[in-house]
Structure formats: C-alpha cells, structure tokens
Copies of this chain bind each other. A is one copy, B any other.
Amino acid sequence: MNAVDIRNVKILGVGKYLPKKELTGEEIDQMLGKTLGWAGKNIGVSKRHFVLDETASQMGAFAAKKAVEDAKISVHDIDCIVCASGSMEQPIPCTASLIQKELGLEKSGVPSFDINATCLSFVVALDTISYLVDCGRYKHVLIVSSEVASAALNWKDEKSVALFGDGAAAMVLGKTPEDESSKIIYSKIETYSQGSHLSQVYGGGTKFPPNLKNVKEETMKQFLFYMDGQNLFKMVKKLLPSFMKEMTNKSKHTLEDITIVIPHQASKSGMSLMRKNLKIPEEKWMDIVSNHGNMIAASIPTALCEAIRQKKVKRGDKVLLLGTSAGLSLGGLIFEY
C-alpha cells in the first residue's frame, strides 16, 4: 500500500431515488407475452422501477437532496457537482449542469461536469475526485449517478427488458476530520477495449447520428442497448482473478479485512458466478438486483446506500466497491467508511 493510494476523504451522506412507476416481474412477463414467472425465474428480478415522467436530472436532484440531508449540510454547502452516469439526459449540456438547475443552484456558479465510464462511472468519479477533496480543492462534492436505462431498451431483447431498472443515487464526499479514520485505501481501474463491442449502444452519437431521415425499423435498433452477455462474462472471468490478486497485493487487504463487497448489479446469474469465482461468502455480498434491476452506474451507489441504511456497514468498516462496465472496464475501490 503506497501513500499515493490513501485519500483522507469521508462519505458524509448518501441518498437514493426510485421512480414512481414500479414494475413487478409478472408485469414484465405480461408486457413481453411470457408465461407468468418467466422473468423471476430466468432473470431473477422481481421488481424494478421505470421512469413515468421523471427526467435523469430530476431523479438525480431527489437523490442529491437526501444525500445532503444525510450529510447534515445545506445544498448551498456543495462546491462541486459531478454527474457519474452511463447515460446522458441530453447530448449537450452535461447532465451535472441540469442537476444543478433542478437543485435550485442555477445562479450559484458551482462547477458541474460529468465523468463517464458507463457502469463504473460512480467508482471512477469517486476515485478521481477524491484526490481533489483530499487536497482541499473542493470541500463538499456531490457525486450523482442517475440512469434512465428504460429509454434505450430493445423490447425484442427480452432478457435486457427484464433486467434493467431506472433510478438515481448520490453521495456527498468531504475531507476526513483530523480525529477520524475514514479514507479511501486503494482503487484500481482497468480498461480492455477489445471488449468494447460486447456491450454497447452503437447509434445516437457522432458515428451514427440520430438526425437521419427515414430511419428504417432495421437501423432503429442501433439506437438501443446491445449486450453479448456470454462473451462479456467469458472475458470478465478471465480478467478478474488477476485484477483481484493485484488489488489484494497492493492494498494489503484481503477479503478477511472487508466487511462487505458492493458489486455492480450486472445480472443475477453474472453476479452469482462472479461471487463464487472470487470465493466471496454470501453474507459479505450486497445483492439488490432482485428488487432494483441493473441500474447502470446507479447500481453501486444505490447498493451502498442500501447497505448503509440496512446497517450492514458502520463507521470503521472496510468496504469494497467492485464492478465491470462496457468498455470493457473493471474497477475496484476499497474504503474505510
């Protein structure tokens, strides 16, 4: 463990928001014309939320207000807003600016920008911005992940429809007070773009713009989420052991030292295989996919929020955030809460 790895930062507060519209597995079964019980049995998600009329910035602001309240500060104490989402509300401007507006801070001047590493956006944002908090550049950073996965679902891809959910989670990060021990202990991100095509939304950016006239039904699916789950998992399975080994060696922390692992809620089956592969006991594994679905980058902070709320994590405990994302990236971050 090197001095460069330690950042004396503290999670001052967390919050989450789930959209008003709740959909059970059975409702998804009906929408897809499946036998009742199909989604629950095959996908393992019995409940998720889809936006009704909420935008990503509205959900983000709701979650942010809860995090600010939890941190016992005022929204006016926030001096930096980072949106850490895999999806964006508008192509321009960045979503952080829209969240700032929803928070009523439109005249504040508080710097607002996005950090995007798809499903790992929250981990990368927390990792990156922690150096600025530790150095004193910002005092109370609001990190928000807000995702509307439902906007890009391909309804012909039944497994994706039954897996994903919408929602937001937020965190207020500050410097650790002198007499306390909260800190980031170690973090690591790895990107292997040989897997960049295994999980993607191909169209909608500058390569295949949405402003094409007379888009055919066939090309319309380019704007939707595509995942080759099997090959994605194969690649992760091959990369993860050495990734974890290096984390253990460099952080000088083994699973014994970790109270709970907060994984990306990729899928019920993927998470189960990953947990067994890494020999992580079930009681140290935070699983919220069954009642939230995969919420892209909002998965990890929502699961962390739930772990704290359910008192599975208390001050002094060590937590491992662990995930994979489109890219393909792997990310891990060990912190003392």
A-to-B contact residues, CB < 8 Å: 2, 4-5, 55-56, 81, 86-94, 96-98, 100-101, 105-118, 120-121, 124, 128-129, 131-132, 135-137, 147-148, 151-152, 189-194, 196, 199-211, 213, 215, 217, 220-221, 223-225, 325-329
Contact = CB atoms under 8 A, between A and B. Distances in A.
Given A151-B209, A193-B106, A200 B90 contact: yes
B111 A329 contact: yes
A194 B56 contact: no
A131 B137 contact: yes
Contact of A152 (B86, B91, B108, B190): B91
B207 A91 contact: no
Given A106-B194, A109-B190, A111-B329, 16 more contacts: A5-B137, A89-B205, A91-B201, A92-B118, A92-B201, A93-B200, A97-B326, A97-B328, A100-B193, A110-B191, A112-B193, A113-B124, A128-B132, A131-B131, A147-B206, A213-B220
23 contacts: A4-B137, A56-B206, A87-B205, A92-B118, A93-B118, A93-B327, A93-B328, A94-B116, A97-B196, A98-B193, A111-B189, A112-B191, A112-B329, A113-B115, A113-B117, A113-B189, A113-B191, A115-B115, A151-B211, A204-B204, A209-B223, A210-B223, A213-B220
Contacts of A108: 192
Copies of this protein in the assembly total 2
Given A152-B206, A204-B210, A220-B211, A196 B101 contact: yes
Nearest to A95: B205
Closest 9 pairs between A and B when the two form their complex, measured CB to CB: A210-B210, A148-B206, A101-B193, A111-B189, A113-B117, A109-B190, A93-B326, A106-B194, A211-B223
Contacts of A206: 55-56, 87-89, 147-148, 151-152
Nearest to A224: B211
A113 B196 CA distance: 13
A110 B124 CA distance: 13
A72 B81 CA distance: 36
A84 B85 CA distance: 15
A40 to B, nearest CB: 27
A90 B205 contact: yes
Given A118-B93, A211-B152, A105 B205 contact: no
Nearest to A190: B109
Contacts of A223: 209-211
Nearest to A123: B113
A109 B88 CA distance: 25
A288 to B, nearest CB: 21
A214 B139 CA distance: 48
Contacts of A93: 118, 196, 199-200, 325-329
A109 B151 contact: no
A88 B89 contact: no
Residue from A189, A202, A329 having most chain B Cβ neighbours under 10 A: A329
A212 to B, nearest CB: 9
A189 to B, nearest CB: 4
Given A97-B196, A113-B117, A220-B211, A92 B225 contact: yes
